[in-house]
Amino acid sequence: MKFILSSLKLLKAVQSLSGVINSNNTLPILDDFLFNISENELKITASDLETTMMVTIQPDMVEGTGEVTIPARLLIDILKNFPDIPVSFNIDETTLAIEITTGEGRYKMVGHKSDEFPQLPVLKESMSCEIPADVLVCGFEKTVFATGNDEIRPVMTGVFMEMTNEGMNFVATDAHKLVRYRRLDIKTEVPASFIIPKKPLNQLKNALSSKADEMVNVEFNKTNASFSMPGLKLVCRLIDGKYPNYNAVIPQSNPNKLTIDRQLLLSAIRRVAIFSSKATHQIRFKIAGQELTLTAEDNDYYNEAKERLSCNYEGNDMEIGFNSRFFQEMLGNLNQTEVMLEMSAPNRAGLIIPVDNQNADEDILMLLMPVMLN
C-alpha cells in the first residue's frame, strides 16, 4: 500500500482525533490510529472504547487498499516537524513496516494489525434528526462549563440534550449552577433526550467549529449517539441515568430585577473577588435604590474590597451572596451587552438572563445558587 498527501493536511486530521486517545490505555492498540486506505480516500480512526471518531480525507495519490494501525504519538511528533510538503507512506502489507519519505528524508516505523482495533458501533433501534453544526457548537459552548465532576452523580457530568416539538434544550448543572440553552428553531415531532459525556462533546465541539454552515446527522438510541457529516463521524457511549428535573429548580416568581452592563459587572467582580476568601470565594451583592455595592473579605488575612456600580433596579433593597468564580464563569460565557439578575430572596437561586439577545430563536437562562452570608 502507498499513498501521498500534504503533511499539513494529514497533521490537521490526526490532531483533530488525538483528544480521543487516553494517556493510559489498557489495550496497546488504542495508542494507535487506524488507517483505512481505499481507492480515493483515507479514513483515519481513533478510539478509547467509549468514544470512536473517524475523519476522511482525500490523498493526492493511492496505490493499493487495506488497513493498518500506526502509533499515534510517533506520527504526530514527526508530522509537527515537517513544513507543508508532500509526504509518501509506503506500507508493507506482510510485515506492516511503514516508511515515510519526504524529498531527502526517510523515516521508518512499525504498524500493527487492525484486527483488534474497535469498530465503529452500529446503532440499532435508533432515532435521528439533522441539526446545524453551529447550533451544536453554541449549545455545547454555553453549557459544558456548568457540568459537574462528581462521579457519584454521573448524570451531572454530561450535557443533557432534550428535543421536543417546542424546541431543543441543552442543559448542564453541577447542583450549584445550572445553564439552559434553548433553540426554538430546532424541533422534533417525537420527544427525545440523552446525556452526552464531556469528552466526546469537547471533541465534537472542536471538530465542528470550522464547519459552522454544515448540517450534522444526529442518530441515537438508549446507549449510544452518532454525529456524522461529510468527512467526519463520532460515535460515543451515552451516560446512563435519569437527568434531574431541572425545571423544578428554576424559580418562577422573581420580583427583584437588576439590569446592568455585563462587562462592567464582570470586571468589577474580577477585581473584588481577588480579596475574597479562598475557601468560599464569597462576594456580597448589596442593592439599594439604583446602586449595586459589591464587597468581599478574607478575615484570615484582613483583606477587604468594595466597589459601587450604577444599575437599573426594580424591587426591594436586598443583600445576597454568590460564589464569585461561578458568577465570573457565567458572565464570561455570554456575549450580550446587558444582563438581568432576577432574584426573589437571599436564600433562593438567582437567575442571569441576557437582555439584548439578537437571535430570536435563542433563549439562554443561567441559574446560580446563593451562598450564606457571614
| 309-347 pLDDT per residue, tens | 999 999 999 999 999 999 999 999 999 999 999 999 999
CA–CA gap between residue 114 and residue 93 (Å, rounded): 11
- 157 shares its domain with 226: yes
User: Where is the domain boundary, 207, 222, 247?
Assistant: 247
Closest CA to 339 of 368, 372, 312: 312
Report if residue 118 sits inside a domain. Answer: no
- Do residues 284 and 355 share a domain? yes
Determine, yes or no, domain membership for 59. yes
Q: Are 52 and 20 in contact (CB under 8 A)?
A: yes
State the residue range of the domain holding 38.
2-110
Is the same domain home to 211 and 277?
A: no
**Cα-based torsion angle of the residue sequence 250, 251, 257, 262 in order, rounded to the nearest 10 degrees:** -10
Of 112, 104, 86, the C-alpha closest to 2 is: 86
Nearest to 235 by CA among 199, 211, 281: 199
Domain count, the chain: 3
Q: Which residues contact 29 (CB under 8 A, 6 or more apart)?
A: 69, 112, 116, 117
Residue 169's alpha-carbon distances to 128, 172, 275, 352, 364, in angstroms, are 16, 10, 37, 17, 10
Please check whether residue 122 lies inside any domain of the structure: no
Average pLDDT, whole number, for the chain? 96
At 369, the amino acid letter reads: M
Residue 334 gets which letter from DSSP? Answer: -
Handedness of CA 102, 106, 109, 115 (dihedral sign): positive
Query: pLDDT category, 88, cuts 50, 70, 90?
Result: very high
| Domain termination site, one of 247, 276, 307 | 247
Whether 341 maps to a domain, the answer reads yes
Distance in angstroms (rounded) separating the CA atoms of residues 138 and 230: 20
The answer on pLDDT for 118 being more than 80 is yes
Q: How confident is the model at residue 356 (pLDDT cuts 50, 70, 90)?
A: confident
Residue 212 has a pLDDT of 83
One domain, residues 218 and 281: no
59 in the same domain as 96: yes
CA 133 to CA 53: how far, in whole Å? 16
Is the domain of 314 the same as that of 357? Answer: yes
Q: CA–CA separation, 42 vs 256, rounded Å?
A: 59
CATH of the domain at 312: 3.10.150.10
pLDDT for 135 equals 96
pLDDT of residue 368: 98
H/E element holding 269? helix 262-273
- Number of other residues whose CB lies within 10 A of the CB of residue 347: 11
* Burial state string for 219-235 with b = 16 or more CB within 10 A and e = fewer than 16: ebbeebbbbbbebbbbb
Give the per-residue pLDDT at 357: 83
pLDDT of residue 230 exceeding 80, the answer is yes
Q: Which of 110, 138, 157 is the last residue of a domain?
A: 110
Q: Is the pLDDT of residue 192 over 80?
A: yes
Q: What is the 3-state secondary structure (H, E, C) of 183-210?
A: ECCCCCCCCEEEEEEHHHHHHHHHHHCC
- At 262-285, the pLDDT tens digits run 999 999 999 999 999 999 999 999
Q: What is the pLDDT of residues 13-30, one digit of tens each?
A: 999 999 999 999 989 999
Same domain, 209 and 286: no
Averaged pLDDT, 58-72: 96
Name the phi and psi angles at 187, rounded to 5. Answer: -130, 150
Banded pLDDT at 121 (limits 50, 70, 90): confident
pLDDT classification of 123: cutoffs 50, 70, 90 = very high
**Residues 241 and 270 placed together within one structural domain of the fold:** no
